[in-house]
Amino acid sequence: MTSPKMCNPNLDEPAKTKYEVRQIYKRKPANIEMASRELAPIFGLGSGFLAQQRAQTLFTHPAFRESFAEFKYNYLRGRWDLPIGDFEEVHKLLHNLKVRRDPMWIEEKFPDCTEWDVTHFYARFALRTWHEIKESKLALAGWLKDVEICPAIHVLVFALMYLQLETMRDYKKDAPMKDRINHFLDSRKADKPT
């Protein structure tokens, strides 16, 4: 059993973890409480009620919510067909010393993102959220405060991935039928060999 301050995610199989997150998304948990129960093992918190509660505190932490609002505004922009991040790419970018030492990745003011791809948005989200949680006086998500950077980024990338998929599902439901049909037809055209 893990202690309240510890998390031990499996960093060795990000493709498997991505698949697991997609499977949780496809099962359509009714709310974040139910999703947290399934995401807790992915976050390395174990299973059971306490693990679920710990996972849930991450989604309710103001730093997480603010960073996600920024992500929605600057990356998703109401679209429902955008790529999701890749842990290995985010991990690689964040191990670039220039990125980790540049305050633009954690400061409140959003930087110029005209040259960014999904990896940069995920990196910004993960670093900013982790930094704010570590600096917070709130007990929420306290288990993430003392975690090393790699496990912390793993947790935050896969939490963001899940929320991105859920948010895009909502956007798709709200999209006009014409847009959904055009998207379907465009994707069929792209699948056909020329």
**pTM, entire model:** 0.88
In a domain, 24, yes or no: yes
- What's the confidence (pLDDT) of residue 6? 73
In a domain, 66, yes or no: yes
What is the phi-psi region of residue 94: left when phi exceeds 0, alpha when psi lies from -120 to 50, beta otherwise? alpha
In a domain, 7, yes or no: no
In a domain, 5, yes or no: no
In a domain, 4, yes or no: no
181 token code pair: 């049909």
The parts of the chain modelled with pLDDT lower than 70 are: 1-5, 97, 175, 180, 182-188, 190-194
In a domain, 136, yes or no: yes
List pLDDT tens digits, range 25-47.
999 999 999 999 999 999 999 99
- What's the confidence (pLDDT) of residue 8? 86
- Domain extent at residue 164: 14-191
Tally of domains in the chain:
1
In a domain, 8, yes or no: no
Q: Where does residue 84 rank: exposed (0-12), middle (13-18), buried (19+ CB within 10 A)? A: middle
